[in-house]
A and B are shown apart, each in its own frame.
Chain A
Amino acid sequence: MRLERRSQASAAALVLAPLGAVAFTLLVSSLLVLWAGAPVGQTYGLLLQGAFGSLFAWSETLTRAIPLILTGLAATVAFRARLFNIGAEGQLYAGALAAVAVGGLHGGEGLALPLWLLFPLMMLAAALAGALLLLGPALMKQRLGVDEVVTTLLLNFIVLLLVSALLDGAMKDPMAMGWPQSVSLVPELELSRLVEGTRVHSGLIGAVLLALLVWALFKYTVLGFDIRAVGANPRAAAFAGVPVTRTVVLVALLSGALAGMAGAIEVAGRASYVTLDMSPGYGYSGIVIAMLAGLNPLGVIAAGVFVAGVLVGADSMSRAIGVPTYLADVIVAVALLSVLVATLLAQYRLRWR
């Protein structure tokens, strides 16, 4: 088996590739639904209905999409510079903790600051916490050549244990009847609802704005150019005078900050306190979303809504018909792999000898 670069990707290949990826994903998941002994059509119908079939379904999907878009952006920024940040999960929790540390009701009272100052301060703390958490692995990669994938993965476990320790100790909400949850934010810091009676909050606007900002950064700024250069070929970039280490460090700060803000926005928009299960793997899903979007910041919005829809829809489908919710994770994983293969086949021709 050999790969041969196509001189020009054909129009047919560009259309067929994503369709093929979708078809393959549906095929695999259909087989799994059959294995569970459920009718395939009805299962997909219920899934779609649960994700996009009503105002309520849309509101749930968009609510779920908010942290996913942000972690997707975090992965996009990092992966563009070939900094494989797999630590968004930990950075999200670090951001959530920092948000509560600054904006929380400690001993029944928040910091005595005006709201217009406290809110930005809370977001800044969250961004900083996420950024600093990724700074270490980025520096270890640049200075010592330590693979950042392993260090960021291991840091996820460390941060989660730290959260667990703090929820038992310093940040424990004494009013929570023994439940491991942090103190709440000052009520005024909570994000407002976009539609009354649903859970969609103004964090959605923030996430979309940040996606636009990241897009503009790539398209119009020198840093964006440097990031693309470092990602394409770090040696050539260094030779051409791009400050590689500085770029990677800036990318780490930016990527970590985005993941940290995902944590703060999730806290301020949903429960208003931190729990150990506030993120069902948003950090990891962000990587999938970034890849599905082809590392395009605007594509991340669409991919985030798609993944959120699959997750929310599978929950509601599972309640109705009993097919395990893990079907959603299979769909997302298969979609990731088949999109990767499809993108490659649009650019390369397979030669059997």
Chain B
Amino acid sequence: MTEMIEILLNPAFWVAVLRIATPLILGTLGVLWCERAGVLNLGIEGIMVAGAFAGWLAVYQGLPLWGGVAVAALAGAAFGLLHALLTVGLALSQHVAGLGITLLATALSYYGYRVAFPKVSTPPTIAPFAPMEGLGIPVLSAQTPLTLLAILLVPLSAWVLFRTPVGLAVRMVGENPQAAEGQGVSVAAVRTGAIVAGSALMGVAGSFLTLSAFNAFFFNMVNGRGWICVALVVFASWRPGKALLGALLFAFFDALQLRLQQAGASTIPYQVYLMLPYVLSILALVLVARKAAYPQALMKPYRQGER
């Protein structure tokens, strides 16, 4: 117990919580935008890989760090456009199209990495974002600007979603596309826009891994974080504020399992600790299942004139 208190009183622990939460915040916001418009985007896992790779490669080729973030967002947006073409334009199964995009984005990134670096055994590195030490706020000043960006995007998303005509249109096409069409809103255009924007966020989420958390690109570095975001958005009832809370809560447990694992006072295999994040995600889904207010048109393709 004293061990626990020691961990919780250590600022380094909270620094880790916020660091772990950052890609989850960005990714969950990305999923949220897609799903609010009524489209499931299982491409997230691969789009995060593509964002991590493209952002890192751009910086490695000499672009500034923010240029790398922009490239990652563009890569995400490009795969988002493909997803929109398949699921909105052609009304294909959102499950299968999303998985296809995950496979494609992952394969392209790994292929690109191997073409660019055929024989390296230790991954080449870049100089990543530095902590914002001038900020003077404990815990936050140990983070990089990408974390600040992620946190600021939460109220911004909430404002756009609930206080602007754009947000209203997105929510309408996600709840009742027929009615939206009747109001003169183009369902296809709004859904496409939401998917592209959400996917760009997923790309940025990936770039956090290579431009801030680490300084290189590794295979399997996304490691299911995308899927966790898909679970988190359900847990967050599709609300940006709750998405932030969910990501922080999740990161809290993840950081805790890391510390407990390091404390090493246990006969429990370390794999059990590593399982916790995934188990927690499933538990979270079950807990909110009864009252989850899914966007009414989620996963329902909309074909103009068909009911």
Contact = CB atoms under 8 A, between A and B. Distances in A.
Interface residues of B, number: 48
Contacts of B188: 1
B107 interface: yes
B160 interface: no
A162 B106 CA distance: 25
Nearest to B42: A149
B92 A340 contact: yes
Most central of A154, A158, A291, A327 by chain B CB within 10 Å = A154
Q: For the complex, would chain A's binding face be called helix, strand, loop or mixed by DSSP majority?
A: helix
Interface stretch (B5-13, B83-91, B147-155): B83-91
A153 B292 CA distance: 20
A149 to B, nearest CB: 6
Contacts of B91: 3, 344
Contacts of B223: 157
A209 interface: no
By secondary structure, the B interface counts as: helix
Given A157-B278, A324-B110, A334 B104 contact: yes
Interface in B74-119: 86, 89-93, 95-97, 99-101, 103-104, 106-108, 110-111, 114-115, 118
A122 B91 CA distance: 44
Given A158-B278, A284-B103, A32 B292 contact: no
A144 B92 contact: no
B269 A169 contact: yes
Interface in A135-187: 140, 144-147, 149-151, 153-155, 157-158, 161-162, 164-165, 168-169
A324 B117 CA distance: 10
B100 to A, nearest CB: 5
Interface in A319-353: 322, 324, 326-327, 329-330, 332-334, 336-337, 340-341, 344, 348
Interface string B4-25: 0000000000000000000000
Interface stretch (B56-64, B164-172, B280-288): B280-288
B62 to A, nearest CB: 20
B22 to A, nearest CB: 20
A129 to B, nearest CB: 17
A151 B90 CA distance: 27
Given A1-B188, A165-B272, A146 B285 contact: yes
A93 interface: no
Contact of B114 (A140, A168, A324, A348): A324
A36 B103 contact: no
A229 interface: no
B86 A288 contact: no
Contacts, number: 126
B115 A288 contact: no
Contact of A145 (B95, B281, B292): B292
A252 interface: no
Contact of B275 (A2, A158, A284, A288): A158
A327 B103 CA distance: 12
A84 interface: yes
B307 interface: no
A32 B111 contact: yes
A35 B114 CA distance: 11
B129 interface: no
Given A158-B278, A288-B103, A150 B230 contact: yes
B124 interface: no
Contact of A326 (B89, B114, B231): B114
A303 interface: no
B66 to A, nearest CB: 27
B269 A330 contact: no
Contacts of B224: 153-154, 157
Contacts of A155: 278, 282
Given A1-B89, A149-B42, A329 B118 contact: no
Contacts of B289: 140, 144-146
B103 A336 contact: yes
Given A144-B290, A154-B278, A337-B97, A165 B269 contact: yes
A337 B106 CA distance: 14
B154 to A, nearest CB: 22
Interface in A9-39: 32, 35-36
Contacts of B228: 154
Contacts of A333: 100, 103-104, 107
A86 interface: yes
Contacts of A161: 271-272, 274-275, 278
Interface of B: 42, 86, 89-93, 95-97, 99-101, 103-104, 106-108, 110-111, 114-115, 118, 188, 223-224, 227-228, 230-231, 234, 269, 271-272, 274-275, 278-279, 281-282, 285-286, 289-290, 292, 303-305
Given A84-B95, A326-B111, 9 more contacts: A2-B303, A3-B91, A35-B115, A149-B95, A157-B224, A162-B271, A165-B272, A329-B111, A336-B103
8 contacts: A32-B108, A144-B289, A157-B278, A329-B106, A332-B103, A333-B103, A336-B100, A340-B93
A-B CB proximity, top 10 nearest? A329-B107, A324-B114, A144-B289, A333-B104, A165-B271, A333-B103, A326-B111, A161-B271, A165-B269, A326-B110
Interface of A: 1-3, 32, 35-36, 84, 86, 140, 144-147, 149-151, 153-155, 157-158, 161-162, 164-165, 168-169, 284, 287-288, 291, 322, 324, 326-327, 329-330, 332-334, 336-337, 340-341, 344, 348
